[in-house]
């Protein structure tokens, strides 16, 4: 019998590490509207255009190889990304969605008591990843729902290990120019890893925006993450990638699962990034509808945060009958599923993904009816 069996200091059942039970599990965007025939899911920033046909063909072909382990080094995909971006494939790591990479970063660089810094309305995965690693989430205030570099720098301590910045950010849709990213980087101690999460980079059409690729290639402490879930329409396959300094990529490769990417994802992802025409179509669709929605919803008297991504944040007044919660219920009854962002500290707003033309027109019409007090 073990010597500790009768030790009264031993807990009566297995205990998760400190931090784990502080995690509020991520609640994904809704996908159902009970009783409605045609549903438009505008809650998870998926593309209304779907994936590239070439990606679908590659995915189908992969069905014939399911007995074999995938290539653990993800050669096909890393090389396709490297060609598309003009990079060295050795500086790229792939993950099961950028979610896996964000978690890998904290598991690799954050230990108990270490601080992980991000901004007030930053992507929820950062907090979850920090706590799961036993770290301490530290939050910096935003200014105008936008990442505030000075506020972030003011929160840096000797315990800071990782700073996460989604640029553009989800759910706000706002961004900081590259000059601000560089100022943030310049103000960080060299042992702090700056993670630039550029999940929506392809959608941004601003001259002063950069993904951070240049910094990830030149600095010793910058990692840029990307995803195939948004512009490439492959959210179901879970494909993300990151580029950074060789020692960072090396450390992440030691911690990741040896077969973290599956074969259908590797092949479909490689085909998707090569289908430039499809990406351009998705960018053009967004460039047409994002400003249209912003203007039309603004005309209804609702405040819309200016977005550079494929979604927008709509603010509702606090008066009964007009709140975000009531709007959400109203829209859902019409099969229009938006995203509540109360868990992001934004209880008076809803996030809407730019959808198909049909969905976009329906949302504007439904919001008009909602504000006029018409029945759903
Ligand atoms: C959607 C999103 C991601 C991508 O997540 P995947 O795991 O790649 O699907 C990453 N960061 C932000 C800010 C996002 O909104």
Dist. CA 331 → ligand 1 center (Å): 25
Percentage with pLDDT > 90 across the chain: 92
* Residues contacting residue 248 through CB under 8 Å, at least 6 positions apart: 193, 221, 223
Pick the closest to residue 350 from 306, 315, 298 (CA basis): 315
117, pLDDT greater than 80: yes
Structure tokens at 210: 């950069």
**If pLDDT is split at 50, 70 and 90, which confidence band does 31 have?**
confident
Rounded Cα gap, residues 268 and 54, in angstroms: 8
Angle ∠(144,204,57) on CA atoms, nearest 5: 135
pLDDT, tens digit, for every residue of 173-184? 999 999 999 999
**If pLDDT is split at 50, 70 and 90, which confidence band does 171 have?**
very high
CB-ligand 1 contact for 97 (6 Å cutoff): yes
Global model pTM greater than 0.85: yes
1, pLDDT greater than 80: no
Q: Where are the beta strands (DSSP E) in 238-347?
A: 240-243, 303-305, 311-315, 336-337, 339-340
Percentage with pLDDT > 70 across the chain: 100
Q: Which residue's C-alpha comes closest to atom 15 of ligand 1?
A: 170
| CB-count exposure of residue 158 (10 Å: 0-12, 13-18, 19+) | exposed
Q: Looking at residue 88, what is its pLDDT?
A: 97
Q: Which residue's C-alpha comes closest to atom 2 of ligand 1?
A: 199
Q: Which residue's C-alpha comes closest to atom 12 of ligand 1?
A: 199
Mark residue 50 as left, alpha or beta (left: phi above 0; alpha: psi -120 to 50; beta: remaining). Answer: left
CB-ligand 1 contact for 227 (6 Å cutoff): yes
Instruction: Point out the ligand 1 atom lying closest to the alpha carbon of residue 229.
Output: 9
Rounded Cα gap, residues 10 and 44, in angstroms: 43
Lowest mean pLDDT among 3-12, 29-38, 212-221, 268-277: 29-38
Pick the closest to residue 234 from 194, 195, 262 (CA basis): 262
Instruction: Point out the ligand 1 atom lying closest to the alpha carbon of residue 197.
Output: 11
Q: Looking at residue 198, what is its pLDDT?
A: 98
pLDDT, tens digit, for every residue of 120-148? 999 999 999 999 999 999 999 999 999 99
Rounded Cα gap, residues 297 and 363, in angstroms: 9
Mean pLDDT for 46-60 is 98
> What residue has token string 């405040």?
303
Dist. CA 228 → ligand 1 center (Å): 9
Q: Looking at residue 33, what is its pLDDT?
A: 79
CB-ligand 1 contact for 168 (6 Å cutoff): no
CB-ligand 1 contact for 170 (6 Å cutoff): yes
Q: Which residue's C-alpha comes closest to atom 6 of ligand 1?
A: 97
Instruction: Point out the ligand 1 atom lying closest to the alpha carbon of residue 166.
Output: 13
Count of beta carbons in the 10 Å neighbourhood of residue 190 = 8
Mean pLDDT for 228-234 is 98
**If pLDDT is split at 50, 70 and 90, which confidence band does 55 have?**
very high
Q: What are phi and psi of 350, to 5 degrees?
A: -130, 145
CB-ligand 1 contact for 99 (6 Å cutoff): yes
Q: Looking at residue 29, what is its pLDDT?
A: 75
Lowest mean pLDDT among 28-32, 63-67, 173-177: 28-32
Q: Looking at residue 131, what is its pLDDT?
A: 96
324, pLDDT greater than 80: yes
70, pLDDT greater than 80: yes
> What residue has token string 């315990």?
159
Dist. CA 166 → ligand 1 center (Å): 9
Q: Looking at residue 112, what is its pLDDT?
A: 94
Dist. CA 290 → ligand 1 center (Å): 19
18, pLDDT greater than 90: no
CB-ligand 1 contact for 324 (6 Å cutoff): no
Rounded Cα gap, residues 221 and 106, in angstroms: 14
Q: Looking at residue 316, what is its pLDDT?
A: 98
Instruction: Point out the ligand 1 atom lying closest to the alpha carbon of residue 101.
Output: 7
Q: Looking at residue 320, what is its pLDDT?
A: 95
Ligand 1 pocket mutation pick from 199, 231, 232, 354 by most atoms within 8 angstroms of CB: 199
pLDDT, tens digit, for every residue of 81-97? 999 999 999 999 999 99
CB-ligand 1 contact for 129 (6 Å cutoff): no
CB-ligand 1 contact for 119 (6 Å cutoff): no
* Residues contacting residue 236 through CB under 8 Å, at least 6 positions apart: none
Residues in the chain: 376
Q: Where are the beta strands (DSSP E) in 51-114?
A: 92-95
Pick the closest to residue 134 from 96, 174, 162 (CA basis): 162
Q: Which residue's C-alpha comes closest to atom 10 of ligand 1?
A: 199
């Amino acid at each position: 019998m073990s010597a500790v069996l009768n030790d009264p200091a031993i807990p009566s059942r297995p205990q998760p590490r400190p931090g784990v039970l502080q995690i509020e599990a991520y609640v994904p965007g809704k996908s159902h509207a009970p009783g409605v025939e045609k549903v438009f899911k505008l809650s998870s920033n998926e593309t209304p255009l779907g994936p590239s046909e070439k990606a679908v063909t590659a995915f189908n072909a992969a069905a014939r190889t399911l007995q074999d382990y995938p290539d653990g080094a993800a050669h096909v995909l890393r090389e396709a990304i490297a060609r598309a971006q003009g990079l060295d494939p050795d500086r790229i790591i792939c993950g099961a969605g950028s979610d896996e990479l964000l978690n890998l970063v904290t598991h690799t660089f954050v230990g108990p008591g270490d601080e992980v810094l991000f901004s007030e309305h930053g992507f929820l995965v950062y907090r979850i990843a920090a706590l799961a690693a036993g770290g301490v989430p530290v939050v910096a205030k935003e200014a105008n729902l936008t990442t505030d570099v000075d506020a972030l720098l003011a929160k840096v301590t000797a315990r800071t290990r990782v700073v996460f910045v989604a640029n553009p950010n989800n759910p706000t849709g706002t961004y900081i120019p590259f000059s601000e990213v560089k100022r943030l980087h310049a103000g960080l101690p060299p042992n702090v890893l700056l993670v630039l999460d550029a999940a929506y980079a392809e959608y941004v059409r601003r001259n002063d925006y950069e993904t951070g690729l240049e910094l990830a290639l030149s600095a010793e402490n910058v990692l840029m993450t990307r995803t195939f879930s948004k512009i490439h329409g492959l959210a179901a396959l879970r494909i993300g990638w990151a580029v950074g300094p060789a020692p960072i990529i090396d450390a992440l490769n030691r911690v990741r699962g040896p077969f973290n990417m599956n074969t259908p994802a590797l092949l479909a992802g490689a085909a998707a990034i090569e289908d430039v025409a499809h990406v351009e179509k998705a960018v053009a669709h967004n460039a047409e509808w994002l400003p249209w929605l912003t203007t039309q919803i603004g005309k209804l008297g609702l405040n819309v945060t200016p977005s550079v991504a494929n979604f927008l944040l709509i603010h509702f007044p606090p008066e009964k009958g007009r709140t975000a919660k009531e709007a959400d219920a109203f829209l859902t009854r019409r099969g229009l599923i938006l995203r509540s962002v109360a868990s992001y500290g934004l209880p008076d707003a809803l996030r809407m993904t730019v959808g198909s033309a049909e969905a976009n027109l329906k949302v504007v019409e439904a919001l008009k009816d909602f504000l006029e007090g018409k029945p759903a």
